[in-house]
Each structure stands twice: as structure tokens, then as C-alpha cells.
Structure 1
Amino acid sequence: MKSCDLPDTQNNLDTRQIIIDRVGIKDISHPITYIDREGNKSPTVGNFTMTVTLPENVKGTHMSRFIQILNEGPCEFDSGNFGKIIEKVRDRLESETAHIILDFPFFRKKKAPSSGVESMMDYQVTLYGSLDKGVTEVMMKVVVPVTSLCPCSKSISKYGAHNQRSHITIKAKATVGKTLYLEDLIDLAETKASCELYAILKREDEKVVTERAYDNPAFVEDLVRDIAVDLNANNNIDYYRLESENFESIHNHSAYALIENQK
């Protein structure tokens, strides 16, 4: 029997007159390629949530069409073209709106500060895309792990100071007509931290990063304020949500701070 001869149940009329805000597929893994700031292609694996709005008179959406879109060709994205797949979802599902959330690890090669040994650092990235009333909006979020060293501990101790691993999370939306690069957000977070992290460090590198952190103490408040100064001055950004969570090494809690700004 041909598929055209089979009943299409989801296209049946629904009489309950209730709009479903978002319906689709969640947590589907698919290979993607992220194109970085320099144009290099970085293969990775994305986790997709893809939804549309369902009108009050339609019984169900076509779930398979979401997956067909992912499998029609290479899934390649950069900071500026993620909106194209959102438009394709909207058109293929014949909906007025479309939403995509894409999570993926972004890998970046880094050189240790003294030995120069290279290793791959990973950053957790989320792209948020929506299309509603003809307007496409894309936001990106990146979690940047760094080191922070406590200024208070340094000032009161005869030697040493306690430090902690910190996660700086920046969620930002580009100004209309501007391009916002993922690496710009990573660079900013790592520059403002007491010290950045590396996957591989030799002994001479450990000396450098330990002393660098000691020379650049920062409270969680300092981290978000220093980063916010640059975000506020960046004309490529018209909205951001900035968080820092410091996983304390001498307390049984985290230190936390958040700044949110719609320019």
C-alpha cells in the first residue's frame, strides 16, 4: 500500500479549540558542524529540541518532518546563519512559529602559557532560535570554566590563598544587523578571570597559572562586574544575561552572582 493511501490522522480536525504553544521533538542527537570565528569547521554532536505552534483545529503535528530536516544535508552553523534552519522548520511544518534549542560541546585548541603544548578545551554551548510573526531571533549561551582566587583569603593569609573552579555563563543576543561570535564571549570570560583553564599543563605551566591567579584575585562580584563593563560597551550585543558560580573550596556552598541587561 502506498503512503498516500494511508489515513493521515494528525491532519484530522480537532474540536477542543485549544492552541498548543509548542509541540515537536525533544532530545534528539545529531552530528553537526560549527563554523568558528576564523571559518574553521568543527565537527561535534548536537542535542536538538524542535517545536512549532499547533493551531486549535489541527489534531497533531508531523513529527517525522523535524528529523527529515536534520537528515537532508550537512547541519552546518555559524553565529549568523542559525536562523535558516528555524525558517525551514516553520515552512516545512506549515506553522506560524518555530523554536529550536541546540546544545553542543564546542572544542577549541589552546596552547599552555609556558611550554606551548596544545590541547583541546571544551565549552558547553546552547543556541536558542525562534521565529514568530515573521521575526527571527537567535541567542547563544556558553559556559566558560575558569579559576578564581579569593581576594579576602589573600589579604588575611601569611601565605597562599584559596581558589576555586568557577563557571561563567554568558547568554547574549546580537544587535540587529551585527554578528556576535561565540569565541568573543569565551575570550572575554577567560580574560576577566583570575586565570583561564587548560586541558594539559606541564610543570612550568602550573607555575605560571598558579602565580597568575594569585596576582589577579577576584570575588564573584568582581567577575560579573568586570565582564559586564565590556558587554555594556559592545555594540554587537543588545541583550545579555551573565552569571558566575564559584564552587568554593573551603565552604560547603557556591558563591553566585548575576547581571542581566536589555540595552
Structure 2
Amino acid sequence: MQDVQNREDARGIAIQRVGIKDAHLPFLIKTKEGGFQQVLARIRFTVALPSEYKGTHMSRFLEILMPWSQKPLAEPEMDKMLMEALDRLDAQSAEVELNFKYFVEKTAPVSGRKSVLDLDCCFKGRKERGGELEFQLGVDVPFTSLCPCSKEISQYGAHNQRSVARIQLRFQQGVECIYIEDLAELVEKQGSSPIYPLLKREDEKFVTEAAYENPKFVEDILRDTVLAMRGLEGLAWFSVECENYESIHNHSAYASHEETLA
């Protein structure tokens, strides 16, 4: 049968990214404890297409993904996956992005009840032929924030809200990336209080009072998170977005920052 994709194209336009988007597959994500957690990933998988080719072979992206979806995945496996894409699709660069829910265990502060908190996470990998893997981790970390101004001017209490810090980071070549569990724990400490899926009355009292004693504006949370990111050894670049879903307004409070480290 004719290979239409390999026909020549005379328009002289190289395509930077071509492939598949919004494919869904189960994946096994390596955990801090040495095991793995099964997740459902939404995937974008692309390669660069030279100007002389009419198209790429879309079926090969899924052929590459299928075996890797059955093995515990982290940076080394993504490197091999992208190398396979470069070879099988005769490309100079390849990129893959996996978006998924990851669950971390939480222990209520007083009752000790255990539950699991879902985090929106992202693995991004990019590789050029002959180059090193560029790996980027993304995690959205929720927590509670309490308004310092409200506490200062109110006689009876202060308004608080659920907040989220959206973290993206890259480590230097040869430095192992931080585990999702450790990053989530580090970031949630920058808010007024962590959040927990399961709380008994004694826990609710504890976290409410803890937040009241630790009021923070969105600017405070952002700056404290930036300082925490700067403390990670071997970090090359990071970005932080903080959003407070205001409880007394119909809009959010927002702050963002990014840095490239030496």
C-alpha cells in the first residue's frame, strides 16, 4: 500500500509540532515509596516534521505509548519513550505531555484519620536528537488562605478561602527531580493551613484556628513559595501561580512569578 505521509511536499514549511492530542491511557507513575500509582493520563505527543514530508504517521504515536503505559514511569522512561519517537518517526525533536490526577495520603491533624487528596499533575518531556531530556514537572497544590486585612478590621472573625498554587519546575541536567509528594508538602506549608479531604470536628477546630493564626495575602503566599522554590538544590527554572478563590467577592486574587536560577 502507498505511504502517502512520506510523499514530498513542495510548500517549504517545516512543522514544529505534529502528532496526537487528548489521547487517554492508563499510566503507572513511580511513587516516593518505590512503588507506583495507576493514573488516567490525558496525553499530547508530537514530533517536528521536516518541510519535505507531507505528513507524519499518527498511528505510530499510540504504538509507542501502549507498551510504556504498562511500566512504572518517571524521567528515565520518558527519555526512552522520546528516543523511540525520534527513531521511529525519523524526527529531530519530540515532545510528550501527560496530565493526570495523582493522590497523596493525608492524615488529619488531631483525629489521625487518613484520606487521600487528589492533585492535578503534569509531566512534560522534550528531546532533540543527540541531546539530553528536558523534563518539566507541574503540580497544582490546594490549601487554605485567610485574609490579614479581614482579621485586622473584624471583631468576630476573618474570611478565608480555598486557594491553589500552580507550580512548574525544571531541574539542572543530572539532578533528580523532586517527588510529587515532597513538592506538595513543601508548597502547602506556604498557605495559611493545609486542607484535608476527611476531617472530624476536632480536626476542623484545629485547622480553622491554625489558619486564623497564620493570615496571608496572595502576595505573601507567592513570596513564601518563591523562597521555598529557591531552596531546592539543583533547580534550574520554576514558575508559580497563586490564586485565592475569594469567599466575599465574585473574583479571585491572583499573583504569579517565574525565575531562571544560575
TM category (shorter chain) comes to: over 0.9
CA distance in 2, matches of 1:44, 1:234: 27
Q: Deviations over 1:40-60 (max 9, x none)?
A: 211111111000011111111
- Which amino acid in the other structure matches residue 110 of structure 1? K
Structure 2: gaps of 5 or more residues: none
Q: Give 1:234's aligned residue.
A: 232
Superposition pairs for residues 163-202 of structure 1, below 5 Å? 163-181=160-178, 182-202=180-200
Superposition pairs for residues 96-135 of structure 1, below 5 Å? 96-133=92-129, 134-135=131-132
- Which amino acid in the other structure matches residue 47 of structure 1? R
Deviation of 1:75 (Å): 4.1
RMSD of Structure 2 on Structure 1 (CA):
1.3
The one of 51, 56, 64 aligned to 1:61: 56
Structure 1: gaps of 5 or more residues: 1-5
CA distance in 1, matches of 2:79, 2:256: 28
Q: Deviations over 1:146-189 (max 9, x none)?
A: 10000111111112100011111110001221112222221111
- Which amino acid in the other structure matches residue 174 of structure 1? F
Tell me which stretches of 4 or more aligned residues in structure 1 moved more than 3 Å: none
Deviation of 1:109 (Å): 1.4
CA distance in 2, matches of 1:258, 1:227: 10
Q: Give 1:89's aligned residue.
A: 85
- Which amino acid in the other structure matches residue 185 of structure 1? L
Q: Deviations over 1:176-228 (max 9, x none)?
A: 21112222221111111111111111111111111111111111011011111
CA distance in 2, matches of 1:153, 1:79: 44
TM-score with structure 2 length normalisation?
0.95
Work out whether residues 140 and 166 of structure 2, in 8 Å CA contact, stay in contact via their aligned partners in 1: yes
Q: Give 1:247's aligned residue.
A: 245
